[in-house]
Structure 1
Amino acid sequence: MGWTASMRHQCAMMGSEDHSEETARMTITTIGLDIAKSVFQAHGTDASGKRLLKRKLGRSEVAAFFGKLERCRVVLEACGTSHHWARVIRDAGHDVKLIPPEMVKPFVKRGKKNDAVDAAAICLAAAHPDARFVPIKDEEQQSLLSLHSTRSLLVKQLTMTINALRALAAEFGLIVPVGNCRLSELMTKIEVSTELPSTMRQTATLLFEQYSRLVESIESLEAQIRTHAKQDEDARRLLTVPGIGPVTASLIVASVTDIGAFDTARHFAAWLGLVPRQHSSGGKTRLGRITKTGNREIRKMLVLGATSMLYRAQKWESAAGAWLCKLLERRPGRLATVALANKLARIIWALLSRKEIYRPAGRSVATA
């Protein structure tokens, strides 16, 4: 049967649509990519912000799709898998940017939350003049961070195991003073007690064995972290600051890939969430609790380090020590701890940006 006029017209239209799509792809300047486990949504725009591309991609199609496109800027939300996909797309020859999710959220249409809308919101957020981006981590940095995340998880499990063992023993009237070193004493009481049921003794032994395994794993991870802290130049520089140990120094170096991304020390402290919230209006400044945004692990480690220095404030012979002593005279200890964590963050920014080491007198000098 021959072709009808309508069929010819339809084929011609399909051919023109394919040609227009190909032409549009050549003029794409920005692509917002919403990533997930298996389904990815791409939203491409030109220099004026007009949409030229809207396509759903499977996980196996991402590398091939971007490999065929002309070089453009690809923007992804910073999340757990974004650094991997950023490296994959960057290897295809594109300029890849990672944008914080909190900068994208205001551009998502209310009541229309889906992958296509999220991809379009990423494009809008990336085009904003105040847009800031997250540096892409390489595989070595992510491997180092895996040590810290695993250690943090095991420490939580260790605390849970210790609490469970103490609570179980306390139900049968067996207690020991505070301290992990006292757990062996607690197990001795459990073993020599003749009135305890065998089931309880078996459960306590299981928990103590789990505790011992966790301690060994944590010590192994911390040994690797200390090795990195000794070998890395920036980490050794941070170790000169009181209240910062190998774990904190290694975590900061692995997490902060480019200290130059923060214009001032206050910006770095704000990124860590160590600055007060603001509720100001009508010229009246109202400050609240700290924002607690940014990297939670670094903020926690700095607060722990500041807490340890709080009890040694009188013996801390330095400009920061004198400042802390004066602060404790007029502010409660918990508030002084957070304030000292903020000061430590500012000191860290100064040392990393200027390539200097900490001096107690309040003036840093360049490293030899």
Structure 2
Amino acid sequence: MNNITLIGIDLGKHSFHAHCQDSSGRKISHKKFTRTKLFEFLANTPPTTVVMEACAGAHFMARKIQQLGHEAKLISPQFVRPFVKSNKNDFIDAEAICEAASRPSMRFVAPKTETQQAMKALVKVRESFIRDKVKTTNQMHAALLEFGISLPRGTAVIKRLSLVLADNDLPRYIVELLMKLHAHYLYLVEQVKDIEKSLQQILKQDEASQLLLSIPGVEPITASVLAAQLGDGKQYRTSRDFASSTGLVPRQYSTGGRSTLLGISKRGNKTLRMLLVQCARTYMMHLDSKEGHLADWVRKQLTQKHSNVVACALANKLARIAWAITTEKKAYYC
């Protein structure tokens, strides 16, 4: 037990497979645990490094393991996969985690705090409710179209439903169905508003999020996603590293000394990348009223490049500004 220097854990819902090795990389033991037994084992193990894949439940496990005195590290699953030997099982996965963690150049994922996870969960559920809103209106449009009633796209069916039902003789069961869909839409609207209020309360209590709101074009939803993704920002060496992790840099395919840059890589958090691009487009729409170095830079870029290219470049710059604000703990100023 005293010789253990690295523990790789393959996480599961009810069972956990641990691979223990010494400083030379030699296997000492491997064993399957329940959640309770795993914490008992780690509590009785001298402080060491525990590595897991960054998957469901990994951030909670990392916090618990740190409380037991160990150093917890998370690795992206895509970096573990190349180290899986031959056939795949849970013990081989745990061994591959140890092998990946032993690489000097390996990149790790910073464990998230409870607040960061809460913000991320709220944003995800809000997105789900918004998708359900669109689906509900589409179902109402489709039901009416089957009876020869065509309405403009969007929420017109919600606003005009009472008039449509009064002016058209529709079967009773279709009227009841439309009223249920209408009530469901209003319910989803209320749920979205409640989630946004919860996000506002969390943002007011988080100093880093308040600083992020000082960035031009960044609103509460984007600030909450940025705060959840960045944390303290120390897991990224530079602002360019963070911008690269959002997928807002060109994808490279270079060989033979010749550099070939393609479109943006679209890696990382898709929601964050989308929100940053939207912030950039909003900033560009109101560019006439903007002043300062950032506005001058955007105007210069628009004279040379397409607005879509400039939007991505500005989103990249906003990501880099967000990293600088988070690490330096200073509000943005022009």
User: Above 0.5 in TM-score?
Assistant: yes
Say whether 1:327 aligns with 2:301: yes
Aligned residue identity for 1:147: L
- The 5 Å alignment of 1:15-26 reads 25-26=1-2
Shift of 1:209: 0.8
Paired AA for residue 305 in structure 2: R
What is the CA deviation profile of residues 94-122 of structure 1, one whole-angstrom value per residue up to 9, with x for unaligned ones? Answer: 2211122122122122x422211111111
Amino acid aligned to 1:46: D
Return the offset for 1:178.
Answer: 4.5
Distance in 2 between residues matched to 1:155 and 1:146, nearest whole Å: 14
1:166-191 CA distances to partner (integer Å, 9 max, x unpaired)? Answer: 233334343444453x3443312332
Task: Deviation per CA, 1:268-322: give whole Å up to 9, x if none.
Answer: 1011111111100011111112222222222221122222223223333332223
Deviation at 1:77, TM superposition (A): 0.6
For residues 119-150 of structure 1, what are the alpha-carbon distances to aligned partners after superposition, in whole Å with 9 as ceiling and x for unaligned?
11111111111122222223333233322222
Select 2:34's aligned residue among 32, 41, 58: 58
Higher relative contact order at CA 8 Å, sep ≥6: structure 1 or structure 2? 2
Rounded to whole Å, the distance in 1 between the matches of 2:7 and 2:168 is 71
Alignment of 1:69 with 2:64, yes or no, is: no
Letter in 2 for 1:313: L
Matched with 1:308 is: 282
1:2-13 correspondence to structure 2 within 5 Å: none
**Alpha-carbon distance in 2 for matches of 1:196, 1:332:** 50
TM-score, reference length from structure 2 = 0.93
State the partner residue of 1:12.
Answer: none
CA displacement, residues 19-77 of structure 1 (integer Å, 9 cap, x when unaligned): xxxxxx22010011111112221111111111111212233321122122222111011
Offset from partner CA, 1:219-255 (integer Å, 9 cap, x none) = 0110111222233222121112221001111222133
Unaligned runs of at least 5 residues, structure 1: 1-24, 361-368
- Residue 281 of structure 1, aligned match among 240, 249, 255: 255
Write the letter of the residue equivalent to 2:63: R
SS in structure 1 at match of 2:289:
coil
| 8 Å CA contact 1:107, 1:121 repeated in 2 | yes
Conserved 8 A contact 1:34-1:40: yes
Structure 1 residues 177 and 324: alpha-carbon distance in aligned structure 2, compared to 1, 3 A threshold: farther
* Aligned equivalent of 2:199, options 198, 213, 225: 225
Structure 2 residue runs of 5 or longer lacking an equivalent are none
Distance verdict in 2 for CA 1:346–1:138, change over 3 Å: closer
2:256 & 2:187 partners in 1: Cα distance?
Answer: 58
Out of 303, 327, 331, the position equivalent to 1:353 is: 327
Does residue 160 of structure 1 match 2:135?
A: yes
Q: Is the 8 A contact 1:314 1:325 kept in 2?
A: no
Q: Indicate the structure (1 or 2) with the bigger Cα radius of gyration.
A: 1
Partner of 1:30: 6
Q: Does 1:102 align with 2:78?
A: yes
Which secondary structure state, in structure 1, belongs to the residue aligned with residue 133 of structure 2? helix
Distance 2:263 2:23 in 1: 41
Counterpart amino acid of residue 273 in structure 2: R
Aligned residues: 334
Aligned partners of 1:42 and 1:119 also within 8 Å: yes
Give the Cα separation in 1 of the matches to 2:164 and 2:263. 45
> How far apart are the structure 2 equivalents of 1:170 and 1:306?
38
Q: Distance in 2 between matches of 1:65 and 1:333?
A: 57
SS in 1 for 2:119: helix
What is the RMSD of the two structures over their aligned residues, measured on CA atoms? 1.9
| TM-score of the aligned structures, taking structure 1 as reference length | 0.85
Query: SS in structure 1 opposite 2:287?
Result: coil
Is 1:208 paired with 2:182? yes
The answer as to 2:219 corresponding to 1:254 is no
Query: Residues 322 and 172 from structure 1, CA distance in 2 versus in 1: closer, same or farther, beyond 3 angstroms?
Result: farther
Secondary structure of 1:330's counterpart equals coil
Which residue type is aligned with residue 288 of structure 1?
L
1:294 maps to 268
Q: Helix, strand or coil: the match of 2:55?
A: coil
CA contact (8 A) 2:230 2:323 kept: no
Compared CA separation, residues 319 and 183, structure 1 to 2 (3 A) = farther
CA deviation map 1:197-220 (0-9, x unaligned): 222222221111111000001001
**Percent of aligned pairs sharing the same letter:** 37
Q: In 2 relative to 1, CA 83–330 (structure 1 residues): closer, same or farther, beyond 3 Å?
A: same
CA–CA distance in 2 between the matches of 1:172 and 1:317?
Answer: 54
Aligned to 2:114: 139
Is 2:106 the counterpart of 1:121? no
How far off its partner does 1:266 sit?
A: 0.7
Q: Distance in 2 between matches of 1:331 and 1:167?
A: 41
Instruction: Tell me, yes or no, if structure 1 residue 243 matches structure 2 residue 217.
Output: yes
Amino acid across the alignment from 1:193: D
Query: Which of these residues, 296, 303, 313, is aligned with residue 339 of structure 1?
Result: 313
Q: What is the SS of the residue equivalent to 1:263?
A: coil
Matched to 1:108, the amino acid is V
Question: In the alignment, is the contact (CA less than 8 A) between 1:29 and 1:46 conserved in 2?
Answer: yes
